[in-house]
A and B are shown apart, each in its own frame.
Chain A
Amino acid sequence: MNIYIKTFNRPFYLERCIRSVLFNVRNYDKIIILDDGTKEEYKHKLIQLFPEISWVANSDGGKYDLIRSGNSKRAKELYGDPASFWLREISKDPNDYFLLIEDDTWFVHMIDLKDFESVLVNENSVICKLFWGEYNPLEEDKYIVRKYKLWNDLFIHRINPPIQSVEDAYKIYIVAMAIFRKDYYENALKKVNHFADETTQITESLDYYHRKPEVSYCKTSERFIYQGWATSVRHDDAITIDVGINSFDFVDILNDAWFSGALDVMANYPYDFNMDYLVNLFKGYKLSAEKLKVYVDWRTTPQLNPTTLYYN
Chain B
Amino acid sequence: MVSVIIFSKDRPLQLEGYLTSLMFYSGIREENIHILYTSIPGISYEILVEKYKRINWINESSYSADLNRLIRASENYIMFGCDDVFFIETMNINHAFEALEQDKSIFSFHLRLGLNIENRPQLEQHPKYLKWNWTQTNSMHWNYPWEVSAAIYRKSDVLSIIDRIDFSLMKSPNYFEDLIVKGVREREIAIQPNLASFYKGKALTLTVNRVQEDYKNPFDQTDSTSVEDLYNEYLANKFLDWRKFENSLNTYIHVNSSYFSLTNEDPANYKRPTAILAEHEQEANLKLLEMGFCLKWIIFRNRLTRRLIRLVNLISPSLLLEIRRIRKKIREIR
Asked whether B75 lies within 8 Å of A153 as measured between CB atoms, the reply is no
B281 at interface (Cβ–Cβ under 8 A)?
yes
Interface of A is mostly: mixed
Nearest Cβ distance between residue B233 and chain A, in whole angstroms? 29
Asked whether B278 lies within 8 Å of A269 as measured between CB atoms, the reply is no
Closest to B277 in A: A148
- Cα–Cα, bound, A151→B276 (Å): 9
A109-B92, A266-B1, A266-B75 as given contacts; A271 in contact with B102, CB under 8 Å: yes
Residues of A within 8 A of B278 (CB): 146-149, 155
A152 at interface (Cβ–Cβ under 8 A)?
yes
A69 at interface (Cβ–Cβ under 8 A)?
no
Residues of B within 8 A of A241 (CB): none
Q: How large is the interface on A (under 10, 10 to 19, 20 to 34, 35 or more residues)?
A: 20 to 34
Q: Which of the residues A110, A148, A268 comes within 8 Å of B276, measured between beta carbons?
A: A148
Residues of B within 8 A of A19 (CB): 1
A154 at interface (Cβ–Cβ under 8 A)?
yes
Q: How large is the interface on B (under 10, 10 to 19, 20 to 34, 35 or more residues)?
A: 20 to 34
The interface centre, meaning the residue of A146, A151, A153 with most chain B CB atoms within 10 A of its CB, is A151
A191 at interface (Cβ–Cβ under 8 A)?
no
Q: Which of the residues A109, A112, A152 comes within 8 Å of B90, measured between beta carbons?
A: A152
Interface residues of B in 252-282 (CB under 8 A from A): 272-279, 281
Residues of B within 8 A of A151 (CB): 27, 90, 272-275
Interface residues of A in 113-139 (CB under 8 A from B): 114-116, 118-119
Q: A23-B29, A108-B94, A149-B276 are in contact. List 15 more A-B contacts (CB 8 A).
A: A22-B31, A24-B94, A108-B98, A110-B27, A110-B94, A112-B272, A148-B278, A149-B277, A149-B278, A151-B274, A151-B275, A269-B97, A270-B94, A271-B98, A271-B101
**16 contacting pairs across A/B (C-beta < 8 A):** A23-B1, A23-B32, A109-B94, A110-B27, A112-B272, A115-B274, A146-B277, A147-B278, A149-B276, A149-B277, A149-B278, A152-B92, A267-B76, A268-B101, A271-B98, A271-B101
- Chain A residues engaging chain B, CB cutoff 8 angstroms: 19-20, 22-24, 26, 108-110, 112, 114-116, 118-119, 146-156, 264, 266-271
